Chains A and B, each alone.
Chain A
Amino acid sequence: MNKIIEIKNLYVAYDDNLVLENINLDIYEKDFIAILGPNGGGKSTLLKALLGLLQIKTGSIKIYGKRPNESRNLFGYVPQENKFDWQFPISVIDVILSGRLKFKKNFNFFYSKNDFEIAEELLKKFGLLDWKNKHISELSGGQKKRVFICRALATESDILLLDEPTAELDAHIENCIYDFLKELNSKKTIILVTHDIGIISGYVSKVCCLNKKLFYHHSGKITGEMLQNAYHCPVDLIAHGNLPHRVLGDH
């Protein structure tokens, strides 16, 4: 399989606060990687570093051999929306259409009929068609999440970066989204930040835990040791005892 992303000895800091320490990770084409870890563990920071949205201290990130700044438009990005201005005047369809701007150039930033069709197709798929022209603030948290997934998919990127796309979603929709991602995975590489330790095992091909350092088992399975290292506490505490045993590798 093709290696598409190579992270080597990566250190990232906000001022003096070291957030990522010596991260090494290779990502291959059509991987479906889940990144687990406690809040503040640096998961969002790692995704932003991949996108070239923040300065890295030392180390390197190569995406198809290029720096993030050059290759960031290969990603479809679903941010962990917590700093959005929900009062901003934009409708659901316009949020999704903005993903299509990736293909615009030469002073032509208008949306084509094709763009609208793609956006409506996505709305339909995610059960949001009735909300098409609603203002973004009128949606529930889970619906907003789906809109951002649609926006990322509208970019038709080969690599998807999803930052906690299923937080706030109810179990049914959560499963739908994972099924959908699984289906997409036959064509796309997916990097997913999540807390759903229980569910993901059936879907993802690899799991790693991030808490400043990256804990990764070469088999791609979650191990008790990994979780313990990342969460600094007994595993069943963070998993609330619901962690199915098959998720844990033999150790």
Chain B
Amino acid sequence: MPEIFQFEFIRNSIIAVILLSITCGIIGSYIVVRRMVFISDAIAHTVFGGIGIAHYFGFNIFAGAFVFGILAMIILELIIRYIKERRDSIIGIMLASGMAIGIIFIYLTPGYSTDLFSYLFGNILLITQNELIHIALLNIILLIFFVVYFNVLRAIAFDNDFAVVLKLPVQNINFAMTIFITIAIILSIKAVGIILVIALLTIPPSIASFFFNDLKKIIITSICLGILFGCCGLYFSYNFDLPTGAVIILISVCFYLISLIFKKIKQKFAFHKIQ
């Protein structure tokens, strides 16, 4: 066995990479094809308010983040529905408020600075067995949900109005997806932090959608890419003693750029062939 696998935390983080790649592959593909990247990033930042409050009062961090995130999304929906203001401005204000609340509460908690950093930047090497079980459970529920509702999810995502006319459970499914997105983000924050979590979710599906026009293929490709980037990231960060989350993201970005160039060249080539 290579030296790297001797440590339990390394083994744990490899399992974390695989499990999180499944979560992020499914949720990330949904976010990308529904063009919900900005709102998802806003959720990631907003839940920090809940993390801060839970930290200060000694609640369960996950519960704090989850309740805060879902409440923020509900309030956002209500504001957008009843006060017709620019959607993206309101989302921007929401995420800033969440961050500000989080920073203040973590500041008020003794020994704040290390915690602040661990949430902002995450650390996949510190993922606990318990957290791995949570991610695995989420994956099982997500997989069942996606298998059962795949056709409905795709119909809603493509044409919400038409799905409403068919009397499909549009509102419930959209709400369930908001909950899944929020949970997936909170669980991923542990690994790469608030700032980078959106990249973990969206880069693999963005690459996959360069090459595939089918939602199932995009999801499966994203999962594989996530595992590839995660394992490479672990390897490099271990060997060069660099922060894991940031290395994973940089590797993903490099792949994204290479794929982009590859796609453009392929398009040019196809165009010339036609001529």
Interface string of B221-233 (1 = CB under 8 A from A): 0000000000000
The answer to whether A90 and B215 have CB atoms under 8 Å apart is yes
CB distance from A228 to the nearest CB of B (A): 33
Report which residue of B35, B149, B151, B165 has the largest number of chain A beta carbons within 10 angstroms of its beta carbon.
B165
The answer to whether B164 and A91 have CB atoms under 8 Å apart is no
A72 at the A/B interface (Cβ < 8 Å)? yes
Q: Given A98-B155, A107-B148, A110-B151, are A88 and B165 also a contact pair (CB < 8 Å)?
A: no
CB distance from A159 to the nearest CB of B (A): 11
Of B58-66, B71-79, B206-214, B242-250, the one contacting chain A is B206-214
A231 at the A/B interface (Cβ < 8 Å)? no
The answer to whether A98 and B162 have CB atoms under 8 Å apart is yes
The answer to whether B168 and A101 have CB atoms under 8 Å apart is yes
B179 at the A/B interface (Cβ < 8 Å)? no
The answer to whether B151 and A101 have CB atoms under 8 Å apart is yes
The answer to whether A89 and B166 have CB atoms under 8 Å apart is no
Which residues in chain B, 168-227, are within 8 Å of chain A measured between CB atoms? 168, 209, 212-215, 218
The answer to whether B213 and A135 have CB atoms under 8 Å apart is yes
Which residues in chain A, 99-156, are within 8 Å of chain B measured between CB atoms? 99, 101-102, 104, 107, 109-111, 135, 151, 155
Of A73-81, A170-178, A198-206, the one contacting chain B is A73-81
A250 at the A/B interface (Cβ < 8 Å)? no
Which residues in chain A, 149-204, are within 8 Å of chain B measured between CB atoms? 151, 155
CB distance from B161 to the nearest CB of A (A): 6
B269 at the A/B interface (Cβ < 8 Å)? no
Report which residue of B155, B162, B167 has the largest number of chain A beta carbons within 10 angstroms of its beta carbon.
B162
The answer to whether A91 and B214 have CB atoms under 8 Å apart is yes
**Number of residues on chain B facing chain A (CB within 8 A):** 27
Tell me the nearest residue of chain B to A54, going by C-beta: B161
The answer to whether A89 and B218 have CB atoms under 8 Å apart is yes
The answer to whether B154 and A79 have CB atoms under 8 Å apart is no
28 A-B pairs in the complex with CB atoms less than 8 angstroms apart: A15-B84, A48-B161, A51-B161, A53-B164, A53-B165, A72-B164, A72-B167, A77-B161, A77-B162, A84-B159, A85-B158, A88-B33, A88-B157, A89-B215, A89-B218, A90-B158, A94-B154, A98-B154, A98-B162, A98-B166, A99-B166, A101-B166, A101-B168, A109-B148, A110-B151, A111-B151, A151-B162, A155-B166
When A and B form their complex, which 6 residue pairs have the shortest distance between CB atoms, in order from nearest? A98-B155, A135-B213, A73-B167, A102-B166, A89-B215, A109-B151
Q: Contact residues of A with B, CB < 8 Å?
A: 15, 48, 51, 53, 72-73, 75, 77, 79, 84-85, 87-91, 94-95, 97-99, 101-102, 104, 107, 109-111, 135, 151, 155
Q: Contact residues of B with A, CB < 8 Å?
A: 33, 35, 84, 148-152, 154-155, 157-159, 161-168, 209, 212-215, 218
Other 17 A-B pairs with CB < 8 A, given A90-B215, A98-B155: A72-B164, A73-B166, A73-B167, A75-B165, A89-B209, A89-B212, A90-B154, A90-B158, A95-B158, A97-B151, A98-B162, A101-B152, A101-B166, A104-B151, A109-B148, A109-B150, A151-B162
